[in-house]
Amino acid sequence: MKGESENRYDWNNFDEKRAFGASVSLYEKNPLTGVNAGEPVADVWGVVGRNNNGVLALADGVNWGEGARLAARCAEVFHQLLASFHSAHSLILQEGGMLTTLCVAVVAPAVHCDSWVLCVCNVGDSLCFVYNRDYGVREVTMGSHDIDQMRDMRDAGGALGPVDGRNPQLHNLTCSMTFVEEGDVVFITSDGVSDNFDPVVGKFCVIKRSDFENKENSQLPPRDNRKLSV
């Protein structure tokens, strides 16, 4: 009966007593059809909550369309962290899927103490973070990428699936661990979210000004001739 109840739960409705996730598209909409480019959304997420532990997973299908979504959904079969990556990759090949990132996080109580531990395994650019009310947000998966180096946002850095026809790309496969406290929020994001807060990416962001603002600014006197009256 418990399984039937879980199957009937509507994850589209937010419930503050449960874990919550959402997958939406940030791509532009077709002005004629109103459909987002790249439909269907290739991101797939899953949350399992138990009395003494929790598991979070997010797979971001590389590129878009049915092939990418299939690759992402294949990752739902994991049983344990590193073993799940092997199982997911094998299933992607079996089902003819494409490439996907994968980030899996497990929250469990530490042995012989009152602390909780967050263990994360990830490949690609889907990242895991922890929010603490006193210290703010910290990234757990920093070892998978160098925030000080320029990077190509089109390159996920790693992926499961047939990168070279059969093998995955595990260049940035990392396992990370941190302690978490009661009240902390653990969340996983695909690059569509994290890229917008990346300081390296932020260097290329320029605020667009309207034509009216540009025209007003062009009528200002040269900076050297401006005077301040008080």
Task: Give the integer Cα–Cα distance in Å for 62 and 42.
Answer: 8
> Is 92 in contact with 138 (CB distance < 8 Å)?
no
* Distances, alpha carbon 190 to alpha carbons 17, 25, 33, 195, in Å: 24, 11, 26, 8
Whole-prediction pTM:
0.56
Q: Is the dihedral of CA 8, 12, 13, 15 positive or negative?
A: positive
Cβ neighbors of 114 (< 8 A, separation 6 or more) are none
pLDDT of residue 130: 93
In this predicted structure, the answer to whether residue 185 has a pLDDT above a threshold of 70 is: yes
pLDDT digits (tens, 9 = 90+) for 138-153: 888 876 776 666 666 6
In this predicted structure, the answer to whether residue 217 has a pLDDT above a threshold of 90 is: no
If you search the block for the tokens 């449960």, which residue do you land on? Answer: 18
Q: What average pLDDT does this structure show over 87-115?
A: 83
* Distances, alpha carbon 197 to alpha carbons 120, 162, 191, 200, 209, in Å: 20, 30, 10, 9, 21
In this predicted structure, the answer to whether residue 131 has a pLDDT above a threshold of 90 is: yes
Q: What average pLDDT does this structure show over 4-16?
A: 53
Domain ranges of the chain: 9-97, 100-209
Give me the chain's average pLDDT, please.
Answer: 71
The upper half-sphere exposure of residue 46, i.e. CA atoms within 13 Å in the direction of its Cβ, equals 16
